[in-house]
Amino acid sequence: MPRARLRPLLGMLAAALTIGLGGCALLTEFDQRSNGIDGRPTGVVASITDGDTLRLVVDGEELRVRLIGIDTPELRPTPECFADEATDALARLAPVGTLIGYEYDEDPQDRFERELMYLFAADGTFINLALVEEGYARELHYAPNFRYRDEILAAEAAAQAGGLGLWGACL
C-alpha cells in the first residue's frame, strides 16, 4: 500500500492505542490533523521551493510536495519569466510555519516521489486554484489526477483573458 494511504490508518491505530491505554494526547493531535481545515488532514509548511513545490511536515515527516493541476515558471537552472513572482505568491498563500490542509487525488506521488497534493489555507483558500486565478500558474494535469481540472481550466481562461500575472508579463 502506498505510504500516503497508510498515514490515515497509522493515525487511527495510534488513536486506538491511546484510548486503550487511557491517554488522550495522541488522540487530540490526530483529531486536529484529520479535521483541521474543512475536514482535511493538515501539515506545517517547512519551506517553499518554487511556485508549485514546497516541503510540508506531516506526522513529523518532511514531505516534498508538488501542487497538482498547475505549473509555474521554473526557478532553476535559469529563472523563467515570472518565476520569482510565482514563488513569492506561494509563500504568501502558504507561509512557512503555517498549518495548511491537503488533499490527494487518485495518484499520490509523481515519478520523482514527490507527494501530489491540493493545498488549502486555514481560511479555506484553495491554493492551487488561487495561483492560477491570480496569473502565477497555468493549468497542467496528468492522468488520473483530474478532480479540480474544470475549475482550474476556467480560472486559467479568465486570467489569460484578463492579462493577469504571467499572461500579461511574459507572453
Q: What nine digits make up the cell of 149?
A: 481540472
Which residue is catalytic, options 29, 64, 74, 147?
Answer: 74
In this structure, the number of other CB atoms found within 10 A of the CB of residue 81 comes to 12
7 belongs to the catalytic site:
no
Distances (CA, A) of 164 to 82, 90, 94, 156, 167: 11, 16, 21, 10, 5
CB 142 within 8 A of CB 119: no
74 belongs to the catalytic site:
yes
Which residue is catalytic, options 66, 85, 115, 133?
Answer: 66
Which residue is catalytic, options 114, 147, 149, 151?
Answer: 114
114 belongs to the catalytic site:
yes
Q: What residues are annotated to the active site? A: 66, 74, 114
